[in-house]
Structure 1
Amino acid sequence: MKVVLLAGGLGTRISEESHLKPKPMIEIGERPILWHIMKYYSQFGFHDFVICLGYKQYVVKEFFADYFLHTSDVTFDLANNSMEVHNNYSEPWKVTLVDTGLNTMTGGRIKRIQPYIGDEPFMLTYGDGVCDVDLNALLDFHKSHGKTATMTTVNIAQLKGVLDINEDNMVHSFREKAETDASLINGGFMVLNPEVFSYLKDDTTVLEQEPLQKLAKEGQLMSFHHTGFWQCMDTQREMKKLEDLWQSGQAPWKIWEN
């Protein structure tokens, strides 16, 4: 199953860092947060990634093109024009990097990568948030209900999408969150069936608006409630929180050994 990562936005709320690089490339523990997300998925056996790029896309492409330079010790033999990689640990990843446009909205970016997905279900999340969601349980839940879309929901007071969910975990409505709300919010980490592409029109489509609202109205959007750790990185304060967790050795999303 492919994992789609949304990594093309401008990241204006953390502009102190994102004016130099895309927000998913901002580092936690000397590795881009995008890398952390991919490592997490990989621990559950998901190794095939499609990354939606836009703003400063070349930064992401250069990172993967020179992956060994970022992750391994190397020796350059200048006289013989050769490079030797030491202690090489190769991630079991296939990474497809797609230019989905500079100003394309989230739904439009997903629509543009449809040729790389085909007629198969896929996972989707944002390139700026980490968690300790049980991805196997998420996928099992998605398969069990047969609806078009499943989103992970978390109960954190942030400006994300608000959901009205019944006792059977069906989402009845979806709207943008107001500061006065204390409802469950959209935490990303979704599973989508290919039928979702029919809800996406063009580059102006915002996934979190009409598509999710329509899916909810039709009874095709389900909630996978996560009560554990979840944190997005919209601000410098949140970036520092994630960095402190990493440096403490107690980052909840770090479930790998190396």
Structure 2
Amino acid sequence: GYKGDQIRDFFLTYGDQGRDVTVNLASGGSPQWYGDPQTEDWEVTLVETGTGARIKRVAAYLDQPYFLQTYGDGIGNVDIGALYTQHVASGLVSTVTGVHPTSRFGEMHVSGERVTEFNEKPTMADGWVSGGFFAHKREMVDRYLDDDPDLLLEKKPMQTLASDGELGVFTHEGFWMGMDTFRDWTELNGLWDSGDAAWKVWA
């Protein structure tokens, strides 16, 4: 997928990312590393899927009764553990995280020719949209997906899950924002640089 090589390189070099290193550019010798590599209790499988039917193409690696799925363009402080727990307890095939979107425009309350209230990019309290964090039963892959390279999860699979009564929602009232434009990128990086990154839930 898009920038898949960078994601692959991140995990291939993960252990050394927090270490100091000396590189001799004159000799071209091997780098000298300092300290111990960082380790995590993770197992990560990287699969080149292209742009369509991604979940179907990694089906061979899904060997547990449940699996989690997300996109790479949504950031939030979603409680993934609570999402998973609710999903398992529900008995449904799939659960999607519902979030309140943030308006891209300033909102005004108007009385006659006067503005009585002005909110810059308010969170829209009415209605829910998909936050892009999912939990699924393994059977979802075989029942609702196919090998069509143009298959979009948000179209027929999600619509059919909903019409079958097999799609639950995990409502998230906390921080969530999509990063779809350069403006989003700038805003999110500004939050990170200012120390106000609500999605940083790790130490």
The normalised TM-score by structure 2 is 0.78
Deviations 1:22-53, CA, capped at 9 Å, x for gaps: xxxxxxxxxxxxxxxxxxxxxxxxxxxxxxxx
State which structure, 1 or 2, has the greater radius of gyration over its C-alpha atoms.
2
Structure 2 residue runs of 5 or longer lacking an equivalent are 105-125
Residue 133 of structure 1 corresponds to which residue in structure 2? Answer: 78
Are positions 1:94 and 2:39 aligned together? no
User: For the residues of structure 1 that align with 2:146 and 2:103, how far apart are their CA atoms?
Assistant: 28
Are positions 1:183 and 2:127 aligned together? yes
**Which has the higher mean CA deviation after the structures are superposed, 222-231 or 118-127?**
118-127
* Match among 135, 138, 157 for residue 194 of structure 1: 138
Residue 114 of structure 2 corresponds to which residue in structure 1? Answer: none
Are positions 1:250 and 2:196 aligned together? yes
User: For the residues of structure 1 that align with 2:83 and 2:76, how far apart are their CA atoms?
Assistant: 13
Residue 227 of structure 1 corresponds to which residue in structure 2? Answer: 173
SS in 2 for 1:71: coil
C-alpha change, 1:158 and 1:194, in structure 2 (3 Å) is farther
Are positions 1:61 and 2:8 aligned together? yes
Would you say the 8 A contact 1:68–1:85 is kept in 2?
A: no
C-alpha change, 1:79 and 1:60, in structure 2 (3 Å) is closer
C-alpha change, 1:247 and 1:215, in structure 2 (3 Å) is same
Would you say the 8 A contact 1:153–1:226 is kept in 2?
A: yes
Structure 1 residue runs of 5 or longer lacking an equivalent are 1-53, 160-181
User: For the residues of structure 2 that align with 1:135 and 1:58, how far apart are their CA atoms?
Assistant: 26
| Structure 1 residue ranges, 4+ long, deviating more than 6 angstroms after superposition | none
Are positions 1:122 and 2:63 aligned together? no
Give 1:208 deviation, angstroms.
0.2
* Match among 149, 155, 180 for residue 209 of structure 1: 155
Give 1:120 deviation, angstroms.
2.1
Would you say the 8 A contact 2:93–2:137 is kept in 1?
A: yes
Number of residues of Structure 1 aligned to a counterpart in Structure 2? 178
Deviations 1:123-150, CA, capped at 9 Å, x for gaps: 1111121111122221111111100000
Would you say the 8 A contact 2:19–2:34 is kept in 1?
A: yes
User: For the residues of structure 1 that align with 2:159 and 2:199, how far apart are their CA atoms?
Assistant: 30
Would you say the 8 A contact 2:47–2:58 is kept in 1?
A: yes
C-alpha change, 1:158 and 1:217, in structure 2 (3 Å) is farther
User: For the residues of structure 1 that align with 2:8 and 2:153, how far apart are their CA atoms?
Assistant: 25
Residue 56 of structure 2 corresponds to which residue in structure 1? Answer: 111
C-alpha change, 1:233 and 1:94, in structure 2 (3 Å) is same
Would you say the 8 A contact 1:151–1:221 is kept in 2?
A: yes
SS in 1 for 2:55: helix
Give 1:237 deviation, angstroms.
1.1
C-alpha change, 1:247 and 1:151, in structure 2 (3 Å) is same
The normalised TM-score by structure 1 is 0.63
* Match among 84, 92, 110 for residue 33 of structure 2: 84
Residue 154 of structure 1 corresponds to which residue in structure 2? Answer: 99
Give 1:92 deviation, angstroms.
3.2
Would you say the 8 A contact 2:21–2:31 is kept in 1?
A: no
SS in 2 for 1:188: strand
User: For the residues of structure 2 that align with 1:153 and 1:242, how far apart are their CA atoms?
Assistant: 20
